[in-house]
Amino acid sequence: MENIYQPFQIDGSGSTSAAEEALKQEAYAEKCREILSAGHSAYQKYFIQNEGCQMNALQTETVAGMVRDMGLIKTQQEDEADVVIYNTCTVRENANQKIYGHLGMLKSIKRSRPHMKIVFFGCMMQEPHVIRTIQERYPFVDVVFGTHNIHRFPELFFTSLTQEGQIIDIWKDTDLIVEGLPTDRKYPFKTGVNIMFGCNNFCSYCIVPYVRGREKSREPQAIIREMETLARDGVSEVMLLGQNVNSYGKTLPFPVSFAQLLKEAEKVDGIRRIRFMTSHPKDLGDDLIEAMASGTKICRHLHLPVQSGSSRILSAMNRHYDKEKYLTLVKKLRSAMPDISLTTDIIVGFPGETEEDFQDTLSVVEEAGYDTAFTFIYSKRTGTPAASYDNQVPQEVIKDRFDRLLSLVQEKGRERSSRFAGTVQEILVEEENREKGLLTGRTSHNLLVHFPGDASLIGQYVSVRLDTCKGFYYYGTRV
Ligand code: SAH
Ligand code: SF4
Ligand code: F3S
């Protein structure tokens, strides 16, 4: 099949400015709208699915906004959609396998709906071996793009509507940040805001820097303007997103620190809660602790991935901190904000991890007092330094350690979360619970709370007494 776009063009920072590019894409979106709204158009409904982290989820909402503006209506049923879109993740092998599973399934759906357009984009598409596989084994996929050129979706989709063949457009990296793209938010009252893109840290196990490119920060004015617009639109909680928010602003023409950005963000009228993710322990300075402690809108929750408790493994992971430095940071945070909720990410079975290293991880979980921790089995990612280490840990050893870690994390999490039992907390109500008559919301500490209430409260802040602790969530009563 003919490829009209050259995969792996290096371009990107390229020929046009972000503003010109935005105008050009608006024109393509208009052309798509004309084709899709024509009387005989077979294209009515779209299905979109996100895999991966919150940053992916935000870009999924952007693409959803673009197809919505082209006149398509969202459906939750993939097999009745005329356009099917997947945003992909490749951080661990199982994320990757899941996508191949979807591709297999789509093959049979498309057989009965040949007009269907299938679009795959995001992190996994940045991997050359994946593109080769899609070209060879999944030629029915119509449009493929990566992480750097989301704004070009209208042009790529238009090309697919008007020409034969698979459209593949992958950029290696870009300096371009196109502002003001449309978005279709999951919740009207809370959303993420990207403050930076990419990652420069190259943790030795991690594929993200290869698929997301070099770190670049958005201008603070653009972030604050977006927050103001969101607030006018009814958003009261924002989550500032970046792979390492603590290095925000360092490479801007007029450098700004993340703590300074937070102070500006606090001033936005209508925004009541500010969260952020992810903080890298190596760059977490006293200024951020001060900004958090003195802030009135910054939520009392910090996600601080430790990855391992062993200083030897942390060094092999290229994390630039050791066990002592991490625990000192935790102490500082707790002395500035005694009630803060800490959460973390932990990888089990990094190459060369011994039982002694693993015991260090358990001891950090004992000492740090996490409200909850996300635990992952190490996954070998082609192209990362750790993938070529020859001392991989046997699967049965990893499984045993993983189970031991999980039970400690759950035990400690339950202990820690129970500190709120009987207290009254302010909850932002997010949705109706599956259990009939119950609503679900979150505290500033990011604790989930279910309580009896009416759906009209969704999006509002209410006071709830936390009655029964169930580990990482509570049952409560409105007061
Ligand atoms: N930028 C964030 C994390 C992004 S990826 C940070 O630095 O903390 C989210 C989590 O996935 C990581 O914190 C890590 O725990 C996990 N992860 C990343 N690569 C992995 C791999 N190869 N195997 C298992 N877990 C991995
Ligand atoms: Fe991956 Fe490390 Fe970057 Fe996080 S900081 S995205 S773990 S390389
Ligand atoms: Fe996955 Fe990409 Fe996020 S690999 S975790 S979706 S940055």
Tell me the per-residue pLDDT of 55-113, one tens digit each, with 9 for 90 and over. 999 999 999 999 999 999 999 999 999 999 999 999 999 999 999 999 999 999 999 99
Which ligand lies nearest to the CA atom of residue 200 in the structure?
A: 2
Euclidean distance between CA atoms 424 and 476, whole angstroms = 9
Percent of the chain clearing pLDDT 70 (strictly above)? 97
- Between residues 136 and 14, the one the model is more confident about: 136
pLDDT at residue 116 in the model: 95
- For the domain covering 311-419, report its CATH number: 3.30.750.200
For residue 5, pLDDT over 50 is answered with no
Residues 474 and 466: beta-carbon distance below 8 Å: yes
Q: Return the residue matching tokens 């792979």.
A: 243
Q: Is the CB of residue 91 below 6 angstroms from any atom belonging to ligand 3? A: yes
> Which band of pLDDT confidence, cut at 50, 70 and 90, is reported for residue 41?
confident
Class of domain 421-478: mainly beta
Q: What are phi and psi of 470, to 5 degrees?
A: -115, 30
For residue 9, pLDDT over 80 is answered with no
Residue 123 CA to ligand 3 centre (angstroms): 6
pLDDT at residue 15 in the model: 54
Side-chain-side CA neighbours of residue 359 (13 Å):
3
Convert the pLDDT of each residue in 260-295 to its tens digit: 999 999 999 999 999 999 999 999 999 999 999 999
What average pLDDT score do residues 385-400 get?
A: 95
Domain 185-299 identical in fold to domain 311-419: yes
Euclidean distance between CA atoms 201 and 246, whole angstroms = 12
Q: Is the CB of residue 208 below 6 angstroms from any atom belonging to ligand 2? A: yes
> Which band of pLDDT confidence, cut at 50, 70 and 90, is reported for residue 193?
very high
pLDDT at residue 38 in the model: 82
Mean pLDDT of the chain: 94
- One DSSP character per residue, 327-390 reads HHHHHHHHHH-TT-EEEEEEEE--TT--HHHHHHHHHHHHHH--SEEEEEE----TTSGGGG-S
Ligand 1: atom nearest CA of 243 is 1
Q: Where exactly are the structural domains of the chain?
A: 18-169, 185-299, 311-419, 421-478
- One DSSP character per residue, 132-150 reads HHHHHH-TT--EEE-SS-G
Run of H or E residues at 62: helix 54-69
For residue 1, pLDDT over 70 is answered with no
For residue 14, pLDDT over 70 is answered with no
- For the domain covering 18-169, report its CATH number: 3.40.50.12160
- One DSSP character per residue, 377-436 reads E----TTSGGGG-S-PPPHHHHHHHHHHHHHHHHHHHHHHHGGGTT-EEEEEEEEE-SST
Class of domain 185-299: alpha beta
pLDDT at residue 300 in the model: 97
Euclidean distance between CA atoms 125 and 281, whole angstroms = 29
Convert the pLDDT of each residue in 117-162 to its tens digit: 999 999 999 999 999 999 999 999 999 999 999 999 999 999 999 9
Which ligand lies nearest to the CA atom of residue 202 in the structure?
A: 2
pLDDT at residue 260 in the model: 97
Which 3 state secondary structure label does DSSP give 160? Answer: helix
Atom 7 in ligand 3: residue holding the nearest Cα = 208
Which ligand lies nearest to the CA atom of residue 123 in the structure?
A: 3
Percent of the chain clearing pLDDT 90 (strictly above)? 89
Euclidean distance between CA atoms 178 and 87, whole angstroms = 19
Residues 306 and 347: beta-carbon distance below 8 Å: no
pLDDT at residue 472 in the model: 84
End-to-end Cα, the chain, rounded Å: 64
> Which band of pLDDT confidence, cut at 50, 70 and 90, is reported for residue 4?
very low
Ligand 3: atom nearest CA of 207 is 4
Distances (CA, A) of 110 to 73, 105, 139, 141: 19, 9, 11, 9
Q: Is the CB of residue 90 below 6 angstroms from any atom belonging to ligand 2? A: no
Q: Is the CB of residue 92 below 6 angstroms from any atom belonging to ligand 2? A: no
Mutate to test the pocket of ligand 3, among 56, 61, 214, 241 (most ligand atoms within 8 A of CB): 56
